Amino acid sequence: MAQVSFTDNLQKHLPCPPKAAPGDTVRAVMEAVFVENPPLRGYVLDDQDRLRKHVNIFINDVAISDRVTLGDPVAETDRVFVFQALSGG
């Protein structure tokens, strides 16, 4: 199973410890995480079920390319990182 981790900044809003999750795409992996942590969905996905503009997901060290359907492939040995981008000045 892929290892999913979240930034400390996102964890300030709700608990989301690192987790092993099954799935062969980013969507499948994230859906497995959301089953155990439903409030997390609203922080990661918008009302169209797309990745929020201020959130980035990386598989290992590479940003995903499909921000709409989250169809990027995920291998069992991959590490998935969910980042909440910060802005301001």
Burial letters for 2-34: b for 16+ Cβ neighbours within 10 Å, e otherwise? bebbbbeebeeeeebeebebebebbbbbbebbb
Distance, CA of 89 to CA of 78 (rounded, Å): 34
Domains and CATH numbers, the chain: 2-84 (3.10.20.30)
pLDDT at 76 over 80: yes
Convert the pLDDT of each residue in 16-27 to its tens digit: 999 999 999 999
pLDDT at 88 over 60: no
Which pLDDT score, from 0 to 100, does residue 87 have? 62
Convert the pLDDT of each residue in 46-62 to its tens digit: 999 999 999 999 999 99
Q: How many CB atoms lie within 10 A of CB 60?
A: 12
Going by pLDDT thresholds of 50, 70 and 90, the confidence category of residue 32 is: very high
The reply to whether the predicted model has a pTM over 0.95 is no
